[in-house]
Structure 1
């Protein structure tokens, strides 16, 4: 998937909003698998479940509540700070610095944001390892969202109000199409980031949401190349 956009399609954009996990860093880096394992272990210990039962419940909570954290808070009243600290205690050296991505983000005209269902510390550590942290104006994390995750409309509205973001002048990059439905409704341009060499048979079925394909304006498996094309540098 190597088709790059016409820069003119983005000439109106003044605000660039990026999800973090499997978006700013690529799916093949497999970093999120570490978080996934930590979440399963947390659920297993909390509820004295086998790993298999804990993973099944983890995914059930994810689908019903948007994040495992929200589900555990709703059903079991857990301490969100404890959860966030434990599941983000991972090895960030799995991420390879991406100077091409950093150069493209730096050249984008206007403001740049990280908008994540993770916490600020995780976003900062991941972006720092990628070599792109200094190119962002702000990070909007799950704490800033009042612990209500994407795709809840109120979370996008809270982000937009806090940073005076208007839909038409904004583009959002996400790896989950369902998280682009509200941005699309708010007038934003939407870009879906898919794994490299993505196939419709992508194994993790809960990550696919074809019902939301119509909210996606662009699809790419190469964020660096996509942004580099926008800023007009050679790809």
Structure 2
């Protein structure tokens, strides 16, 4: 694993796949904090329990099912459209436009995709606010994945089949290392995006069940990383 990109190592890439939250926009934006609060409120209202207890249920479902929504669907028959609409009713002005990132993504050769565990509307609003939406060919969201979230192998397989992605010529960018395990198995070049000025041990940025060998590169500045690939 190396932290510095080599343009030669990415010369073969023609399929660029980006996670959305805390990947395309920086972690310190903290947009998910708004979603997190709304999820807790949703669980509290649905189950008629105090917010403190609802938060425990929310986090337990996330750990066991990959998303809070999957747990709510399997255990309480929640309507996914209702859930997604309510938890994404947030203030997107928290996301600062990033012209440098937009220019870097635009200059990448080949196709570009957003691959998110959120829904399409959330991805579109976020990417539009960030100033990068027009540079993507498509968005693969949780609904397109039949509500089965990353890191489930079947979700990556569904994505690559739908868009006929050549994984040997693809790169995947993610803020969660466990979500890079399947892409690496499929032959993708993998890049872990961490918070800016982040200097912990590798075990602290890893998430329990993943292996360090699944990450090829690490960056705390996505725009600079991508620019380095196209400027040389």
Report if aligned partners of 2:62, 2:71 keep a CA contact under 8 Å in 1: yes
User: Could you tell me how far 1:4 is from its partner in structure 2?
Assistant: 3.5
The DSSP-based 3-state class of the residue aligned with 2:190 is strand
1:40–1:216 CA distance, 2 compared to 1 (3 A): same
Alignment check: 8 A CA contact 2:4 2:217 kept: no
Q: Deviations over 1:92-143 (max 9, x none)?
A: 0001000000000000000000000000000000000000000000000011
Q: Report what 2:28 is aligned to.
A: 28
Post-superposition offset of 1:55: 1.0
| CA positional deviation for 1:70 | 0.5
Which runs of no fewer than 5 residues in structure 1 stay unpaired?
none
Deviation, structure 1 residue 52? 1.3
CA contact (8 A) 2:4 2:218 kept: no
Which residues in structure 2 correspond to 1:87-106 (within 5 Å)?
87-106=87-106
Indicate if the aligned counterparts of 1:4 and 1:225 stay in contact, CA closer than 8 A. no
Report 1:108-123 matches (<5 A). 108-123=108-123
Mapped partners of 1:47, 1:196: distance in 2: 38
Q: Which 5+ residue runs of structure 2 have no aligned equivalent?
A: none
Correspondence 1:18 to 2:18: yes
Q: C-alpha deviations, 1:10-53, integer Å up to 9, x for none?
A: 00001000000000011000111100111111111111121111
SS of the residue 2:168 aligns to: coil
The residue number in structure 1 matching 2:198 is 198
Task: Write the distance in 2 (CA, Å) between the matches of 1:88 and 1:201.
Answer: 33
Task: Tell me the distance in 1 between the aligned counterparts of 2:55 and 2:200.
Answer: 23
Pairing 1:43-62 to 2, within 5 Å after superposition: 43-62=43-62
TM-score by length of 2: 0.95
Match of 1:168, SS?
Answer: helix
Deviation at 1:197, TM superposition (A): 2.0
User: How many positions carry a matched residue from both structures?
Assistant: 229
